[in-house]
Amino acid sequence: MSENIGPEFYSNTKYDRETLPRGKLDLSTKPPQFKTYDSVTRVRLPGPQLEEGPGFWGLLKGRRSVRAFTEKPISKEQLSQILWATQGISKAFVPAYGGTIGLRTAPSAGGLYPIETYLCVNKVTDLEPGIYHYSVAERELELIKPGKFGKELAEAALGQSMLAKGNAVFIWTAIFERSKWKYKQRAFRYVFLDVGHIAQNLALAAEGVGLGSCQVAAFYDDEVNQLLEIDGKNESVLYLSVIGEKR
Ligand SMILES: Cc1cc2nc3c(=O)[nH]c(=O)nc-3n(C[C@H](O)[C@H](O)[C@H](O)COP(=O)(O)O)c2cc1C
């Protein structure tokens, strides 16, 4: 890790009045909004429950990082509700540069949604263990790799065993090009802000469905990337959250 990369990056990606990039965005070069997998097993998720639930202020007060979980499985409904809270489409929108975008539950710089969600499923009712990708557009899970990968993920996260013991781990990556299309190098600031919003939604939604979560940024990036079979360059892991029933 180079000593000065942080201040250099920060300084070189500052906006100022002279250098602020202006000009029309070219819709023809806009990267696809969604990643999809062909020829995989797809699991349809139940719709979100929006009618009732615990009060917001209590959720804020109750949220804590939880690192110890019971052996009990969580339900597919609980998982689905949290997925929706993190990335669910809540409104259609037509931007000035054309096309349509589905605005989501968490804000995203320029509505470009560079963050992808993967799950390492351990113990969820009616869901076989494995690595899944969340298809935001279809509200489906795409099974990339069946099997128990919790231990491997925990190893990749500096041996944090809670990742193997929790019911599921959310793994968030960025497809940088989606944000760079508009923001160039400044995109590397925005992807982290985006994923922070998503993770906070997760923490509150987990609390809302009676579960605990812990956010995790300590991991060997390329070991997690290898687990997801992504290149670590165009797409790379940013952040993890483990969820489970509190012990
Ligand atoms: C960016 C970030 C990275 C974190 N990484 C880890 C981690 O790798 N392991 C862990 O056990 N907790 C991690 N945490 C959780 C913090 O330790 C926790 O939020 C903090 O101790 C405050 O406790 P609270 O969340 O219960 O309020 C992380 C939190 C943030 C925001």
Distance of CA 203 from the midpoint of ligand 1 (Å): 11
In a domain, 145, yes or no: yes
What span, in angstroms and rounded, lies between the C-alpha atoms of 140 and 222? 26
Predicted confidence at residue 196, as pLDDT, reads 98
Among candidate residues 44, 15, 65, the one with its CA nearest the CA of residue 137: 44
Least confident window among 23-27, 38-42, 170-174: 23-27
Which residue bears the tokens 């290898």? 226
CA of 64 to the centre of ligand 1 (A): 9
Helices 187-208, 176-183: inter-axial angle, 10-degree rounding: 130
Looking at residue 98, its pLDDT comes to 83
The CA-atom distances, in angstroms, between 99 and each of 95, 136, 167, 172 are 7, 18, 38, 26
Q: Please state, as a whole number, how many other Cβ atoms lie within 10 Å of the Cβ of residue 153.
A: 26
Greater confidence (193 vs 24) lies with 193
pLDDT at residue 127 in the model = 98
Mutational test site, ligand 1, from 65, 155, 163, max ligand atoms within 8 Å of CB: 65
Query: Could you give the number of structural domains in the chain?
Result: 1
Q: What digits encode the pLDDT tens for the residues 84-131?
A: 999 999 999 998 888 889 999 999 999 999 999 999 999 999 999 999
Q: Is there a domain that residue 101 lies in? A: yes
Closest by CA to 206, choosing from 47, 66, 52, is 66
Q: Cβ distance 178 to 242 under 8 Å?
A: no
**What is the structure's pLDDT at 96?**
86
Predicted confidence at residue 4, as pLDDT, reads 93
Ligand 1: which of 163, 215, 220, 240 to mutate, judged by most atoms within 8 Å of the beta carbon? 215
| CA 129 / ligand 1 centre spacing (Å) | 26
Q: What is the pLDDT of residue 187?
A: 98
pLDDT reported for residue 21? 82
Tens digit of each residue's pLDDT (9 = 90 or more) over 224-237: 999 999 999 999 99
Residue 145 pLDDT level (bands cut at 50, 70, 90)? very high
Q: How much is the pLDDT for 135?
A: 98
- Spacing, Cα 54 to ligand 1 middle (Å): 24
- How would DSSP label each residue in 159-211? T-THHHHSSEEEEEEEEHHHHHHHHGGGHHHHHHHHHHHHHHHHHHHHHHTT-
Average pLDDT over residues 234-246: 98
Q: 203 CB under 6 A from ligand 1?
A: no
Average pLDDT for the chain:
96
Q: Is residue 107 part of a domain?
A: yes
Arithmetic mean of pLDDT, 228-247: 98
Q: Has residue 139 been placed in a domain? A: yes
pLDDT tens digits, 147-170: 999 999 999 999 999 999 999 999
Residue 22: predicted pLDDT: 84
CATH of the domain at 88: 3.40.109.10
Q: Report how far residue 139's alpha carbon sits from residue 80's, in angstroms, rounded to the nearest whole number.
A: 9
Nearest alpha carbon, ligand 1 atom 29 = 215
Ligand 1 centre distance from Cα of residue 161 (Å): 15
The range of the structural domain enclosing residue 45 comes to 40-244
So what's the pLDDT on residue 1?
A: 87
Ligand 1 in contact with 216 (CB < 6 A)? yes
DSSP helix/strand/coil, 27: helix
Q: What pTM did the predictor assign?
A: 0.97
pLDDT of residue 113: 98
Is 92 a pocket residue for ligand 1 (Cβ < 6 Å)? no
Residue to substitute in 202, 214, 241, 243 for testing ligand 1 pocket (most ligand atoms within 8 angstroms of CB):
214
Going from the Cα of 79 to the center of ligand 1, the distance in angstroms, rounded, reads: 21
Strand partners, 91: 103
Tell me the per-residue pLDDT of 45-67, one tens digit each, with 9 for 90 and over. Answer: 999 999 989 999 999 999 999 99
Residues sharing a CB contact under 8 Å with residue 38, sequence separation 6 or more, in sequence order: none
* Element containing residue 115 per DSSP (H, E): strand 115-121
Asked if residue 215 has its Cβ within 6 Å of ligand 1, the reply is: yes
